[in-house]
Every structure is written in structure tokens, then in C-alpha cells.
Amino acid sequence: MKHFSHPHDLRTIEVPSENLTKSKTCFGCNLPLFGSCYTCSSCNFYLHKSCSNLPQSTLNKFHQKHPLRLLYPPNCTTAPCHLCGTSCSPTFTYNCSLCNFNIHANCAHLYETKSRDDNEHHVLSFFKKKLNELKTAKSEIDSAKTLINSLKDEMSGQADEEIRQQQVLVRQKKEAAALQQHENEMILQQRRNNLFLQRMKNASDSIDFMGQIGTSSNYKIYRY
């Protein structure tokens, strides 16, 4: 199968619905693959069958002055979609270069589908509701990001405090060990001093004793 958005031949594949969240995304709408799709064996290229059937030129009720031309990556514009307000890139986009009008192919398709059973007022209400839902979701995501960053900062602060306390504890242990070592050395030195004094006293006592023997008059001379 040939498609104007890709230079190579495409083959058909079926993507089960249970693989929706973990599959590749469609080149046309940037949504997960499901159902009948096309893929290129040579490239990482995938396309929903419904996206492959989009016309290259169309008329739209939101822009009736000129026909709209289908742009596809990498030729998509980054301008916002006139229906949903988000960037058109990198999805299939209908564009009027004369009026600088852009609309997602998906948005145009949803509008046409909705308008078959509803009037234009209800269709606009439908898109406004969807846009508000997107804005609310974005606000919730931003709030969640802020909370996560706050928690990260708090956890980082707690970790820094724990590290500081550990460093203080290690320093206190080192100081206590150094103090104990100093006390042990003082005790050892005191014991050495006591031992030295005891030896000096013993030596002094011995000298006194010998002196007493040498000067004593109560001794006998034995002759043999």
C-alpha cells in the first residue's frame, strides 16, 4: 500500500486493544495504535487506517472561504489549532495558507462526525467542554508537578539534615575517643610516676638500712 505521507510501501497490521497503552503512536494523529494500521518494514512508521483515508484537500464548515490542504510531518505548522487551541505539530493538519487557518485533522473529523447528529451550537459547546477539560487536566498536572517538586525539596532537606546529624555524631565519637585516649595516657603516665617514686623510696630505704648496719656498735668480730 502506498501513502502520500511516506515514500515506502506499507503493510497492514492488526493491533489488539490490550496493547493500546504500550504500542507505538500513529504518524498522523500521534495517538496509540489500535485496530487496523499500516506500518513500514524499513522505518519506524505507523499509521491508523482511518488516518490514511484522510483526503489531501477538503472543505470545512469553520473555514468555507478556501479549500484546506492536508499538511503532514515534517511539513506541519506549529501554529495553534483554531478549534482546540493546542499546537498542530506534529500531527496531520488541514491548513489554509491564504488565511493562516489551521485545524487538526482529528478536530476536523470530530467536528464533521458531531455535526451529523447535532447543530453547530452544540458542536461548539462540545469542543469548548473538551478544551476546558484539557485546561483543567493541565492545571491538575501542573499542581501535581509543583507538589512533587515541593516533596523533593522537603526530602532533600531532610536528607541534608540527617547527613549533618550523622556528621555531628561521627565528630562527637571521634572527640570522645580522643578524650578517652588522653585520659588513658594520663593514667598510664601517673602509674609510671608512682612506680618510679616507689622505686626511689625503696632505694632510699635500702641506703638507710645499710647505713644503720655500718654505724651500729652492737656487732662482733669473729676470728677463725
pLDDT in tens, 18-56: 665 566 888 888 888 888 899 998 888 898 998 899 888
pLDDT, tens only, 90-129: 888 898 988 888 888 888 877 664 444 444 555 556 666 6
Neighbours of 173 (CB within 10 A): 10
Long-range contacts of 74-83 (CB under 8 A, 24+ apart): 77/102, 81/107, 83/107, 83/108, 83/111, 83/127
- Listed in order, strand segments (DSSP E) in the chain are 11-15, 35-39, 46-48, 57-60, 63-71, 93-96, 101-104
Q: Domains of the chain: which residue ranges?
A: 1-53
Q: Which residue has the higher pLDDT, 77 or 171?
A: 171
The pLDDT value given to residue 33: 85
Give the separation between CA 43 and CA 56, rounded to whole angstroms. Answer: 23
* Of the candidate ranges 53-57, 66-70, 142-146, 170-174, the one whose mean pLDDT is the lowest: 142-146
CA distances (Å), 104 to each of 6, 30, 49, 93, in order? 19, 11, 17, 5
The pLDDT value given to residue 120: 52
CATH number (3.40.50, 3.30.60, 3.10.450, 3.30.110) of 1-53 reads 3.30.60
Mean pLDDT of the chain: 78
Q: Report the predicted TM-score, pTM, of the whole model to 2 decimal places.
A: 0.48
Q: Which residue has the higher pLDDT, 175 or 128?
A: 175
What are 78's three cell numbers? 506549529
Q: Is the pLDDT of residue 81 over 80?
A: yes
Q: Could you tell me which of 109, 99, 116, 93 has the C-alpha nearest to residue 63?
A: 99
The pLDDT value given to residue 118: 46
Q: For 155-166, what is the mean pLDDT?
A: 82
